[in-house]
């Protein structure tokens, strides 16, 4: 079966190197993936991009985003970040919705409607905050921005359905702005982590009250 094995090998390499992999099953809780703790002693690692569409230095960027967005429990902050410099260009906030489960046809229909409404809300936020994409010489200009979502909530420092509902909503938001939809981070009173980003840390974190420490 050498020809079959060769074809499977080429197909596997093609899938692995695809720039934008398909969304995983967001209705699962991704708490079992290994995380890499980021502390002061890991400054060298913090200065490198860990993966595409993740923050280069999460502790620094998240602290700036939380301050600019007046972080508090129950609030989600959408941040416009320059991809190259990681400069924070703007923030918008919204109340964090409760994700809906899909256990039968009725609940699936209700969850789909709620998800579409969140997609519409995120598209409006993106279009209000980020310039539109422009076309020059028959092609689109480079897209310099990234849109990060930061969920502020109670609970463990793991990515859950609360965060993955934003990943799905961004996927279907169809905004035509000069920014890519990037990772969704969660910050709790115990620390932070990302949905795509496998790093985690103790700082920044939220107060158990309503505002940032």
Q: Is residue 209 part of a domain?
A: no
Q: Is residue 212 part of a domain?
A: no
Give this prediction's pTM: 0.75
Task: Give me the domain span that covers residue 159.
Answer: 2-201
Q: Is residue 121 part of a domain?
A: yes
Percentage of the chain with pLDDT > 90?
57
Q: How far is CA 114 from CA 66, 79, 98, 143, in A?
A: 26, 22, 10, 29
Least confident of 52-66, 104-118, 132-146, 149-163: 104-118
For residues 86 and 39, which has the higher predicted lDDT (pLDDT)?
86
Q: Is residue 166 part of a domain?
A: yes
Query: Which range has the top average pLDDT, 30-39, 100-109, 135-144?
Result: 135-144
Q: Could you report the per-residue pLDDT of 147-181, keeping only the tens digit for each?
A: 999 999 999 999 999 999 999 999 999 998 999 99
Contact 13, 157 (CB under 8 A): no
Contact 50, 199 (CB under 8 A): yes
Reported confidence tier of residue 81, pLDDT bands at 50, 70, 90: very high
For residues 208 and 160, which has the higher predicted lDDT (pLDDT)?
160
Q: Is residue 12 part of a domain?
A: yes
What DSSP state is assigned to residue 130? S
Q: Is residue 211 part of a domain?
A: no
* pLDDT greater than 50 at residue 133: yes
Q: 61: buried, middle or exposed (CB in 10 Å: 19+, 13-18, 0-12)?
A: buried
pLDDT value of position 17: 29
> In whole numbers, what is the pLDDT of the chain averaged over residues?
79
Give dist(CA 186, CA 158) in Å, integer: 8
Reported confidence tier of residue 135, pLDDT bands at 50, 70, 90: confident
Q: How far is CA 173 from CA 12, 54, 116, 144, 149, in A?
A: 29, 19, 8, 19, 14
What's the number of domains the chain is made of?
1
What tokens were used for 44?
A: 């060298």
* pLDDT greater than 70 at residue 13: no
Nearest to 190 by CA among 33, 37, 28: 37
Strand partners, 139: 136
**Alpha helix locations (H) across the chain?**
2-16, 43-46, 58-68, 105-129, 161-171
Q: Is residue 74 part of a domain?
A: yes
Q: Is residue 64 part of a domain?
A: yes
């Amino acid at each position: 079966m050498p020809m079959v094995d060769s074809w499977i090998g080429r197909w596997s390499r093609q899938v692995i190197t695809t720039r934008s992999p398909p969304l995983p099953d967001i209705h699962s809780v991704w708490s079992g993936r290994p995380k890499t703790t980021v502390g002061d002693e890991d400054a060298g690692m913090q200065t490198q991009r860990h993966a595409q569409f993740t923050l280069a230095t999460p502790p620094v960027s998240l602290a700036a985003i939380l301050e600019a967005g007046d972080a508090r429990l129950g609030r989600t902050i959408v941040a416009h970040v320059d991809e190259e410099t990681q400069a924070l260009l703007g923030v918008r906030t919204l109340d964090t919705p409760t994700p809906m489960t899909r256990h039968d046809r009725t609940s699936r229909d209700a969850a789909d409607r709620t998800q579409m409404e969140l997609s519409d809300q995120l598209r409006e936020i993106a279009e209000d905050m980020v310039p539109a994409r422009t076309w020059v010489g028959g092609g689109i200009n480079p897209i310099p921005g990234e849109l990060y979502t930061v969920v502020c909530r109670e609970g463990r420092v793991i990515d859950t359905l609360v965060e993955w509902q934003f990943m799905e909503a961004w996927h279907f938001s169809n905004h035509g702005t000069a920014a890519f939809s990037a990772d969704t981070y969660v910050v709790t009173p115990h620390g932070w982590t990302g949905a795509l980003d496998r790093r985690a840390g103790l700082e920044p974190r939220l107060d158990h009250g309503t505002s940032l420490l």
